[in-house]
Amino acid sequence: MSCCQILYNSEMLINEAHNNNFIFVLDNIPVSYLISKFGLECVGKNLGPSPADYGRWKNLDAIKEANNDVRNIALYLKDFTLPGVSVGTTGIENQFATIKTVNGKVEFSDLVTTFANDENWFIYRIFLYWIFAGHNPEDTMQFTEEEYTKNFYVDGHLMILDNNRDKVLEWKFFALHPKSIGDVKMGYANPDKIDLTVTWIYTDFVPADEINIFKRI
């Protein structure tokens, strides 16, 4: 019988950098699917758990609940591109000129983040399987679009700290989902430095002040 390893974890720092003042905190990760990729019992030949697996897992809700302990994942960024914001406009014609007015939806460009990869490539695999999950959830996991949105879209907080580790700015992003992983350059010049560039889609973002920063002495 196929089963998934349950990961109990309330704090997980997997790429901490003491000289990095950019922090990206994900409210949670879709662990009931992603964590299963790291157990040999659940990998199989599919990109994710098969429909048959979901039929056999009588305690699937318990697995999800237990794995939900993996929350507030703090990932340290090497750099990021704060998305641009624009609003649609229209023109009102008169005999002299076209008067521009605001009359449209607000549009946001993609969020681009660069992470320092961990030595076990755990971060890379999380994003890789997260993207794979969106390929065909109706067939692979038998998720409807609504169920997939509920399980695989997360909120996140992007923060800037000053050199005293006090928070300067915080933005909250809603309904985040990784869109792409950039090329990964590796070489002998900097063998211990592997950067991962992840591009995100999301619904919108606003300034916030929800995350508290505690400094350990």
Flag whether pLDDT at 3 surpasses 70.
Answer: no
pLDDT at 15: 66
pTM for this entry: 0.75
Task: Give the pLDDT mean for 77-84.
Answer: 92
193: domain range?
A: 22-207
First to last CA, the chain: 47
Confidence of residue 202 (pLDDT cuts 50, 70, 90): very high
216 is a domain residue: no
Q: Could you give the number of structural domains in the chain?
A: 1
Closest CA to 198 of 178, 212, 215: 178
More confident residue, 178 or 95: 178
Percent of the chain with pLDDT over 70: 68
Closest CA to 178 of 161, 160, 196, 205: 196
pLDDT at 19: 61
122 is a domain residue: yes
pLDDT at 1: 42
Closest CA to 17 of 79, 63, 59, 108: 79
Spatial separation of the C-alpha atoms in residues 217 and 213, rounded to whole Å: 13
Residues 174/205, Cβ–Cβ less than 8 Å: yes
Whats the size of the chain, residue-wise?
Answer: 217
Flag whether pLDDT at 132 surpasses 70.
Answer: yes
pLDDT at 9: 41
Buried b / exposed e over 135-145, threshold 16 CB at 10 Å, is eebeebbebee
> What CATH number is given to the structural domain containing 98?
2.30.110
Q: Report the range of poorest mean pLDDT among 23-27, 36-40, 90-94, 145-149.
A: 36-40
173 is a domain residue: yes
Spatial separation of the C-alpha atoms in residues 122 and 14, rounded to whole Å: 8
10 is a domain residue: no
Residues 112/93, Cβ–Cβ less than 8 Å: no
